[in-house]
Amino acid sequence: MNWKEKSVLVTGGTGSFGKKFIQTLLRDQQPARVIVFSRDELKQHEMLAAGFNQPNLRYFIGDVRDRERLRRAMHGVDVVVHAAALKQVPACEYNPMEAIKTNIMGTSNVVEAALDAGVKKVLTLSTDKAVNPVNLYGATKLAAEKLTVQSNTYAGALETRLACVRYGNVVGSRGSVVPVFLQQRASGKVTVTDERMTRFWLSLEQGVQFVITCIEQMRGGEVFVPKIPSTTIVDLARAMAPQAEIEFVGIRPGEKLHEVLISEDEARSTVELPEMFVVQPAEAYWFSREWAKEGQPLPDDFRYASNTNTEWLTVEQIKQLVAPFESGLVE
């Protein structure tokens, strides 16, 4: 894939992932055009002032709830990375219709606009919370995944192909517990909901590189899942605030003890590769299942969960992962 010939649009382009993805793409791939699509003019202004002012970079104010605006923005676009979402679990619980309008209807609008504009590749970002969801945020991301994958049916003879990336917690992103621990440790006490809790973790850079790889390899219909390590929340707290007291405050509504990236039911149609898993649509006449030739099927009852993961971060490794946030190198 020759990125230098491509026009790329990123929904949610001013968010944590969007900015890092655009920065990396401009530095390493130098596409013909990169479009920042977001609804906040102030964040676009701040991004421009921070040095995102390359001649091949465009700023487009718009909301994924506005299909016509998306159609206009996607004119001549080859690749769409759909990162726009409401992602704060409590906010989604308190504002359910807003979460549905952005995360579900917004994804539908992205898909429809991409099909109408003749976009070649659409990649939607998802989360481990979409697997067996227990909160509205997870439920909306599950729906977004299904909308993206099954919309390959509508593509027909068109060149448009759609896929998803699903991964765990991104260190330091908005909504991450890392900034919370950084604020709390000055008081000498950090709060953890449950001492048994585990999570999948990856850095923003890892997430961005994985998305770039998946765009290059996608054929349409896949959900790509990276192989990433787990950590306990207690170890994360100890790594970030070794002198602080840990207070256990009880699990919050809509929160799981452990997260799952691949369920037992999905595992039956999943292929394992050295660096990732590829979840194939269970039954789809348009999906060729060529991935089966490149990887290995998973054993019966396989479940990729944060508490039974084979790879774990030590306290020292966690310290290295969060070091850029402690030194102020990352927003």
- Which residue's entry shows tokens 């001492």? 195
Strands 276-279 and 270-272: antiparallel
- Cα separations in angstroms, 10 against 63, 232, 316: 12, 32, 34
> Cα separations (Å) of 175 from 221, 247, 261?
28, 20, 19
First-residue to last-residue Cα distance in the chain: 31
**CA 319/CA 241 separation, integer angstroms:** 10
Closest CA to 144 of 96, 174, 202, 102: 102
Dist CA 131 CA 139 (whole Å): 8
Report the Cα 154 to chain-centroid distance in Å. 24
Q: Quickly tell me which residue has 């953890």 as its tokens.
A: 192
Euclidean distance between CA atoms 65 and 98, whole angstroms: 10
Which sequence positions are flagged as catalytic?
Answer: 129
Please report, as a single letter, which amino acid is at residue 32. A
Q: Are 41 and 61 in contact (CB under 8 A)?
A: yes
> Residue 97 to residues 69, 268, 325: CA-CA distances in angstroms?
21, 34, 33
Q: What share of the chain is helix, strand, coil (3-state, %, to 5)?
A: 40, 20, 40
